[in-house]
Structure 1
Amino acid sequence: MASKLKHIGIVSLLTVVSRVLGLVRDQLGAAIFGASELNSAFITAFSLPNLFRRLLGEGSLTAAFVPTLQDELHERGRPGAFMLLNQVTSWLALITGALVVFAMVLFSQSRLLPGHESRWYLAADLAVILFPYLAMICIAAALNATLNVFEHFTEPALSPIWLNLAMIATLGGAGWHLATTELGQMYWLCAGVLIGGFLQLSVPAGVLVKMGWRPRFDFGLAPRVREIGALMAPGLFGTAIYQINVFVSRLFAFSIDEASATLLFYANRLMELPIGVFAIAVATVVYPLIARHATERNFAGMADDYRKGLRLILMINVPAAAGLALLSEPIVRLIYQHGEFTATDTRAMGPLLALFSVGMPFFSISSLTTRAFYALKDTVTPVKIGALSFVINVGLSWALKDWLGAPGLVLASTAAVIVQTIVMQRLLARAVPGLGFGELWRTIGKIVAATAAMSLVVFAGWAALRYAFAGNRTVDLIAIGGLIPVGVAVYAAVLWAVRVEGREEISAILARFRGKFGG
C-alpha cells in the first residue's frame, strides 16, 4: 500500500485541480444563468447522457472490465490486454452510437406531446445536442480503466479537467462575448461539453497508442468478452438502480419549480468536492490493487489494503462533512452569489448543502465497498442493495417533495445512501471476514473525537464572526480563509495527540502534495 500512496497523491492533486475548475465552471453558469429555467433545463438534459455514461462506461463496464483485464494481462501480457480492449471498445462504439442516434431522434420529437411546461421542451431540445457526448465518454472510460490497470493514473485523472476547461472556454469566452442571448450562450456551453468529450477520448487514446495499442474494430466474442458481458448483466442493473435513483431525484426537483434542480445540482457538486478529491482517488488507486489480490486469492492482502483505504477515506471525509455543514451558508454565498445568482438562492441552497454533507462519509465508504464486491466478481449483491436504496429514495422523495420541497429530496437520498452503505458493508464482511471494520472502530472513535473538537472551534468562530461582521461580506472571506485552516489544525492536532492509526500514510500524502505544489 505504501508504494501506492504516490498514486493517491497524484490522483488527489489532479482531482483538486479538476474540482476547482468545476467550481469555476459552476460559478460562470450561476453568474450567467442563475437558478433559472434555462439552467435547470441544461442540468436535467446533461443528466441524461451522464446517466448512460455511468451505466455503460464508468459503471458496470469498468467494474467488470478491470478485474477481467487484470486476468488477461496476468496470463497473456499487453498483447492480450490490447486485443481485449479493441473488442470492448468496438462493441461500446456500436452500442453507444445506436443509443445516441435513437435518443436524438426521440427527443427531437418532444413537441408531439403537448401540454407540458416550457422547461420540459427546453430540456429535450438541449438533450438532442448533448447526447453525442455519451459515446465519446463511454469509450474514454474503457481507455482510462485500461491505463489504471497499467498503473498509469495521471492521464485518467486529467479526464474531467479537459471537460471543465472546454466548458469554461466556450461559456466564459465565446459564449460571454459572442452570443447575444441567454439561449445563444447556452448553445456555446453545450458545444463545450462536446469539445470536452472529444478531448477526454483522444488524450488517453494517444497515451495507449504510445504504449503499443493499435486501435481497430474487432467484434469478436472471445471468452473474456463474454465474461465481461456476464459480469455486466447484473452489474448494469445495479448501476442502473443507483443512477436512475440520482436521475429521478433531479426529475423530482425539476418538477417542483424552475430553481430547485439547479440548487440541488450545485449543492451536490459542493458535497462531491471532498469525495472526489480524496475518496474517489483512494478508491481508484485501491481498486486495481484489491482486484489483483482477489485474482491471486490473497484475501489477507486484499483485506489489509481495503481497511487502509477505508481509514484514509474516513480521516478526510468525516471532518470535511462537518465543515461543509457548519459553513454551508458562507461557502455558498462566497462561491455562487454573483450575477444572476441571488441572496434568495443562497438562502435556499445553504440548507441543501448541510443536509447533503450528512451522507457524505457514507457515500465515500460505499464507493470503495462497491469496488470490493466487484474485485470479488460479485456483481449481484450490489444489485440487491441498490434496489433497496432505490425503493427508499423514491418512496421518501415522493412522500417529502410536496411537504419539504428540495430539502425533502436531499433527506430521502441521504437516508437511502446510509442504509445502502451499512447493509453493503455488513454483507461484504460476511463474504470475506477480513473485510469487516474490525480494528477500524477504534480509529473511527478517534476521528469522531477529533471532528467534534474541530466542530466546536468552527461553530464558535462562525458565531463570533457573524456577530462582529453582521451583514458584511468580509465575514465569509474570514470564515473560509481563516476558520477552515484553524479547524484543520485543531483536527490534526487531536488526531496526532490520540495517535490515530495510519497517520504516517497521511503524512506521506501531504508531503507529496507539498512537493507537487512546491515544484
Structure 2
Amino acid sequence: MKNIISRANSSLTVGKAAWILSGSFAVSAVLGLLREKLLIAKFGLGPTLDAYIIAFSIPDFMFYLLVSGALSVTLIPVLSQRLQTGNKESAWQISASLMNLFAIGTAITSIVIFIFAPPLVKLIAAGSPKEVQDTAANLMRIIAVNPFLFSISSVLASMQQAFGRFFFNSLAPVVYNIGIITGIVWFAPAIGTQDNPAIVGVALGVGLGAILQLIIQTIGLAGLGFKYDRKIFWRNRGFRKVLKLLPARSLDQSIDYLNSIVERFLASFLVVGSIAAYNTAYVLRSVPITLIGVAISTAAFPKISARAASKRTDLFRKDIESVFNVLLWLSIPAAAIAFFMRGYLVRFLVGQGNTLIVSILGWFTLSIIFRALFQAATRAFYAQQDTSTPLKISVYSILLNIGLAVVFVNLYDVVGLAMAQTAVAIFEVLFLVIVLTKRIGTVFTKESFISTSKMLVAVFGMSVVNYVFVRYIFPLKAGDVGFFALAPKFGVIVVVTLASYVFFSHLLKIKESQPVVKGFLKLLYKPLKIHQP
C-alpha cells in the first residue's frame, strides 16, 4: 500500500501532470453531469432545484473570498522559492500557519452563515417565492460547513502542487461529486418526508463529499515530511508575503463569483426554474473549460512560476505563448462542437430536451475559448506574484457584466445573462493580454497568428463535417431519449468530428497537432506480439 501511495505521489512533468489532471477532470466532469442529470430527474427544473442552487451562493462566495484558487496561485510561487533554496522548514511553517489561520477564519464564517441563513437568502434571492427561500435557507445551513473543510484541503493541495504532485489532488473533485451523488441516490430517499424534503439529503451528500476530498488531499502529503504545528508563524517572511498577495487575488476570485450571485438575483425575478435552467447550461459550458483551460493551466503553473522566479523573461514569454497556442488548438473546436451539438448535450441531462437551456448554451459556447485562455492569462500574472492587475481588470469586468446583464435580461430574459457573460469573457482576456504584452513582450507572435488562422480553417472544415452528421446523418428525433438512445449517435459524431479536426490540422501542419498524430501512428503501426505456445 505504501508503494502504491509513493508512486502516486511522485513528482510529474507538465505534460504528465496535464494528462493526469485532464483525466481526473474528465472523470469528475462525467460525474458532475451525472449529478446534474440525477438532480433534474428527481427534482425537475423548478423551485426545489432553484433553492438548492441558491443555497450554495453565500458559502461558496465566502470560500472564494477567503481562500479558493487565491491560495494556490499565491502560495505555490512562495513555496517554490523556499524549496529551491532547500528551506523546507520555512515552507512547512508557511503551510501550517495558513492552515491554522484559514481554519479559524472559515470556522467563524461557517457559524455566521448558519445563524443568518434566512436573511442572507432573502437578500440574494429577493424575487423567489417564500417556500423557495425557506428551503434554500435550510440547505444553506448544512452547506455552511464547506468553507471550513475546503480551506484546509486547499492548503494541502497547494503544498502538493509545489512539489509537482498532482495525483491525489486531482482525485479531490471526483470524490466530492461521488459524495453528492450518494446524497441524491441514497440520502434523499432515506430522509425525504413531508416535513423533511428529500433535497436535504442532497445537502448532506455535499457535506460528505467535502469530507471525502479533505481525506484524499491528506493522503497526498505522504512522504513529504510535513510537520504540522498549531502555531501561526507571524514572523515568517514567506507567510507575511502570502498574506500580502492574498487579498488582491481573493477579491479577484470573490468578485468573479459575486457576478454569479448577481445573476441568480436577477434570475429570481423571472419565471420559476430560470435559475436551474441557467445553472444547467453553465455546468455544460464549464466542462470543456475545466478539461482544457483549468487542467492545462494548473499543470503549467509550477513551471511558469519557476521561469518567473529565474528572471528569464524570454523563456517565460515562450512558455506562456506555448500554453496559449495549445489552449486555442483545443478550445476552438470544443466551442464549435458544443454549439452544433448543444441539442444532444442538453437532452443527455434533460430527457426530452429544453429549448431554453439550448438557447442559453448556444450563447455560452463562444465564451469557452476565452474562459480557457483566461485561466492561463491570469496565472501569467500570478507567476510574477502580481495579483493586483487581474483584480483591477475583474472590477471593471463585473461592473460591465452587471450593466449588460440588467439590460439584456430585460430584453432577452435569462438568455441575456449568457450574452453578458460571453461579452465580458472576451473583454477580460483582451485586457489581460494587452497588459501582459506591454510587460513581457508579445505573447501572440506572427507565428502564433499564422497558427491560429490555420486552426480556424481546420475548425471550419471540422464544423462542416459535424453539421452534416448532426443535421442529416444522425439528426435528433423525438424518440431519442435516454443514454442508450443518444450515446451511440453522439459517440460516432464526436469521434468522426475530432478525427476530421486532427486530419485538417495535420494537413495544415499545425504544430500542436503533431504529438497527437505521432501517437496515433505509433499505436497504429505498433507490432502485434504473438506468443508461441
TM-score (normalizing by structure 1): 0.92
Q: Which amino acid counterpart does residue 271 of structure 1 have in structure 2?
A: R
The question of whether the paired residues in 2 share the 8 Å contact of 1:330 and 1:479 is answered with: no
Q: In 2, Cα distance between the equivalents of 1:34 and 1:325?
A: 24
2:22 paired with 1:35 = no
Q: Which has the higher contact order (CA 8 A, sep 6+)?
A: 1
Deviation at 1:435, TM superposition (A): 3.3
Q: Within 5 A, what are the aligned runs for 1:31-180? A: 31-108=41-118, 117-118=129-130, 119-176=132-189, 179-180=192-193
Question: Match of 2:230, SS?
Answer: coil
Q: Which secondary structure state, in structure 1, belongs to the residue aligned with residue 61 of structure 2?
A: helix
CA RMSD after TM alignment:
2.5
Given candidates 371, 374, 389, the residue that maps to 2:397 is 389
Tell me which residue corresponds to 2:478: 471
Task: Indicate conservation of the 8 Å contact 2:187/2:204, yes or no.
Answer: no
Match of 2:278 among 264, 272, 276: 264
Kindly indicate whether residue 332 of structure 2 is the aligned counterpart of residue 322 of structure 1: no
* Structure 1 counterpart SS, 2:479: coil
Q: How many residues are aligned here?
A: 506
Q: How do 1:201-240 and structure 2 match up within 5 A?
A: 201-221=214-234, 222-240=236-254
2:493 equivalent in structure 1: 483
1:491 and 1:437 map into 2 onto residues whose CA distance is 23
1:246 to 260, 266, 277: 260
Cα deviation code 1:72-112 (max 9, x no counterpart): 22224333212210011111111111111111111156699
1:357-368 matched pairs, under 5 angstroms? 357-368=365-376
CA contact (8 A) 1:426 1:436 kept: no
- Is the contact between residue 293 and residue 371 of structure 2 (CA under 8 Å) also seen in structure 1? no
Q: Report the AA paired with residue 184 of structure 2.
A: L
Shift of 1:507: 5.2
Distance 1:182 1:71, change over 3 A: farther
For residues 344-378 of structure 1, the C-alpha deviation after alignment (integer angstroms, 9 at most, x for no partner) is xx111111111111111000001110000011111
Q: Secondary structure, in 3 states, of the residue corresponding to 2:225?
A: coil
Q: Gaps (5+ residues) in structure 1?
A: 515-519
Pairing 1:331-350 to 2, within 5 Å after superposition: 331-333=345-347, 335-338=348-351, 343=353, 346-350=354-358
Once the two structures are superposed, residues 30-73 of structure 1 have per-residue CA deviations (whole angstroms, 9 ceiling, x without a partner) of 10011111111111111322222233222322221111111122
Residue 382 of structure 1 deviates from its aligned partner by 0.7
Q: Deviations over 1:211-240 (max 9, x none)?
A: 211223222212111111111222222222
C-alpha change, 1:504 and 1:77, in structure 2 (3 Å) is: farther
Q: CA, structure 1 residues 360+231, in 2 after alignment: closer, same or farther (shift >3 Å)?
A: same
Is 2:405–2:416's contact at 8 Å kept on the other side of the alignment?
yes
Q: Do 2:70 and 2:253's aligned partners in 1 also have CA atoms closer than 8 Å?
A: yes
C-alpha distance in structure 1 between counterparts of 2:240 and 2:249, whole Å: 14
Q: 2:93–2:233: 8 Å Cα contact kept in structure 1? A: no
Q: Distance in 1 between matches of 2:135 and 2:91?
A: 43
1:139 alignment partner AA: I
TM-score (norm. length: structure 2) = 0.89
Aligned-partner Cα distance in 2 for 1:111–1:13: 36
Q: Structure 2 counterpart of 1:125, which letter?
A: N
Q: Could you tell me whether the CA contact under 8 Å between 2:58 and 2:113 is conserved in 1?
A: no
Which residue number corresponds to residue 417 of structure 1?
Answer: 425
How far apart, in 1, do the equivalents of 2:366 and 2:154 lie?
30
Distance 1:304 1:178 in 2: 56
Indicate how the Cα distance of structure 1 residues 50 and 438 shifts in structure 2: closer, same or farther if over 3 A, else same. farther
CA offsets 1:240-269 (integer angstroms, 9 cap, x no match): 221211221222223323211111111111
Instruction: Give me the whole-angstrom Cα distance separating, in 2, the residues matched to 1:511 and 1:228.
Output: 47
Give the match for residue 25 of structure 2.
15
Give the partner amino acid of 1:81.
A
1:197 aligns with 2:206: no
**Which segment drifts farther, 244-253 or 485-494?**
244-253
Counterpart of 1:428 in structure 2 is: 436
Decide whether the 8 Å contact of 1:6 with 1:512 is kept in 2: no
Shift of the alpha carbon at 1:505? Answer: 4.0
The one-letter amino acid paired with 2:29 is: R
Cα distance between partner residues in 2 of 1:479 and 1:153: 34
Specify whether residues 86 and 40 from structure 1 end up closer, same or farther in structure 2 by C-alpha distance, changes over 3 A only: same
